[in-house]
Amino acid sequence: MTAPVLEVKNLEKYFDTNTGWFENKPPVKAVDGISLTVDEGETLALIGESGSGKSTVAETIINIHEATGGLIRYQGEDITNPLKEQLETIRSDIQLVFQDPTSCLNPRRTIEKSLRVPLKATGVAKDKRNQRVQEMLERVGLTDEYLYKYPHELSGGQKQRVNIARALAVEPRLLLLDEPTSALDVSVQAKIIDLLRDLQEELDLTYLFITHDLSVVRNFADETAVMYLGEIQEKGPTEEIFQSPKHPYTRALLSSIPVTSDSDEEYRPDSEPLRGEVPSPREAPSGCRLHPRCPHATEECSMQHPDTQQVDDVEVQCIAYKEESEGFESLLTATNDTSTESQ
């Protein structure tokens, strides 16, 4: 079996917070020991609220930030602290698409100029660039008339298409999509998701899809990982996560989506609202990071860091799953009810 396209093991990224010479504050643990693998042609969704460290993961993978610890492998090759030559291949094989389509386009460059930059950087011959730019635009469903327009003349959805086209210019294998649709309206979001799906089929791309919106993921991702305060709380096949979410955090996320039909209503676990808000990663809670907000928290949760449990195909990080005790059952009953109804 071939190596997975992307393999991340116990990745850590700490940010130093000291501003003066004599300070000695603990670092902010933005990403704290996460592991994931993405296979060729698959989509892994990384979900979490703001401040959970999802974007930092993506940025560490392409070496915008240097990893503090852990291992990143791209097609079997260690790229954790890449050499200069390695960096060149990574940067052309892995591309990042950002959330805000407006701020990533230079307002003083026409679309054509913006699209030429990556071609120049990767050394495409001058006489071929024109043709390539047109091909790229066509691929994302834009016509030639957009070549000489400026970003402000385009709508949000069109700008995101241009961004995707630019990311595809260097023919990457792996796309890191950092909330590509969250700044867009639903009618446009559906179009972009459609486009991404087509491109994946056509070009055999692999996606790491970062979002806070669980409902987008349902149709789109093969696997889903739920992140909270720098740690992965639950990870497994998307189907499984939606059918029977196990971790209290996943359940809370699912139950807070405003749905639009009764059939969807059945997929929502009974409301288990979390208390308060995401604490600053500067003061990450002891033990289980969710315990100050978790409706099921016990004293044990604040004392002991939970281990990762394998429940069926899903990895869950929660103390209640340690043994088949009543805690396990009581957490699961509510979910089972809803999932049996919907089948």
Partner 1 sequence: MSSDPLLEVADLSVGFDGFDGYADVVGDVDLRVERGEIVTIVGETGCGKSVTTKAITGLLEEPPAHVDGSVEFDGMDLRELSEDQRESLNGDRLGMIFQNPLSGLNPVFTIGEQLIDTAMFGGKNDDGILSYFRRRRSTADRENARDRVVKMLREVQMPDPEAVLDSYPSELSGGMRQRALIAQALLNEPDLLIADEPGSALDVTVHDRILSLLTDIIEDRDMSILMITHNLGVARQVSDRIYIMYGGRIVETAPTEEIFEEAHHPYTQGLIASIPQLSGEEMAGGIDGSVPKYTDPPSGCRFHPRCPYADEQCRQSPPPEVSFGEDSHAVCVRHTDDGTTPTNEKTKRRLMKNGSVQTGGER
Rounded to whole angstroms, how far apart are CA atoms 334 and 323? 18
* Interacting residues with partner 1 (CB under 8 A): 49-50, 138, 140-143, 154-158, 161, 185-194, 212-216, 218-219, 239, 242, 252-261, 263-264, 266-268, 273-274, 276-278, 342
By beta-carbon proximity to partner 1, the closer residue of 10 and 260 is 260
Nearest distance in Å: CB 42, partner 1: 17
- The CA angle 140-142-143, to the nearest 5 degrees, is 140
Minimum CB–partner distance for residue 132 and partner 1 (Å): 18
Closer to partner 1 by Cβ: residue 189 or 206: 189
By C-beta, is 91 or 161 nearer to partner 1?
Answer: 161
Could you tell me the smallest distance in angstroms from the CB atom of residue 244 to partner 1? 13
Six-digit token string for 182: 């969250």
Please give the C-alpha separations between residue 108 and each of 115, 126, 150, in angstroms, as whole numbers. 13, 22, 7
Residue 78 or 144 with smaller CB distance to partner 1 = 144
Single out the residue of 101, 100, 95, 46 nearest to residue 212, CA to CA.
Answer: 46
Report yes or no: 46 and 250 within 8 Å, Cβ to Cβ: no
Q: Which is nearer to partner 1, 115 or 174 (CB)?
A: 115
Distances (CA, A) of 103 to 99, 106, 151, 205: 9, 7, 10, 25
- CA quadruple 251, 254, 256, 260: dihedral sign: negative
Question: d(Cα 249, Cα 239) in Å, to the nearest integer?
Answer: 17
Q: In angstroms, what is the minimal distance from the CB of 290 to partner 1?
A: 11
Minimum Å gap between C-beta 143 and partner 1 is 5
SS (H, E, C) 211-249: ECCHHHHCCCCCEEEEEECCEEEEEEEHHHHHHCCCCHH
- Output the smallest distance, CB 330 to partner 1, in A: 21
Residue whose CB is less far from partner 1, 37 or 243? 243
Shortest distance, position 251 Cβ to partner 1, whole Å:
11
Q: Residue 64, exposed/middle/buried by CB under 10 A (0-12, 13-18, 19+)?
A: exposed
CA gap 71, 35 in Å, rounded = 9
Residue 199: helix, strand or coil by DSSP? helix
Q: Is 100 or 266 the residue whose CB approaches partner 1 more closely?
A: 266
CB of 329 to partner 1, least distance (A): 25
Nearer to partner 1 by C-beta: 214 or 297?
Answer: 214
Q: Decide if 2 contacts 28 (C-beta within 8 A).
A: no
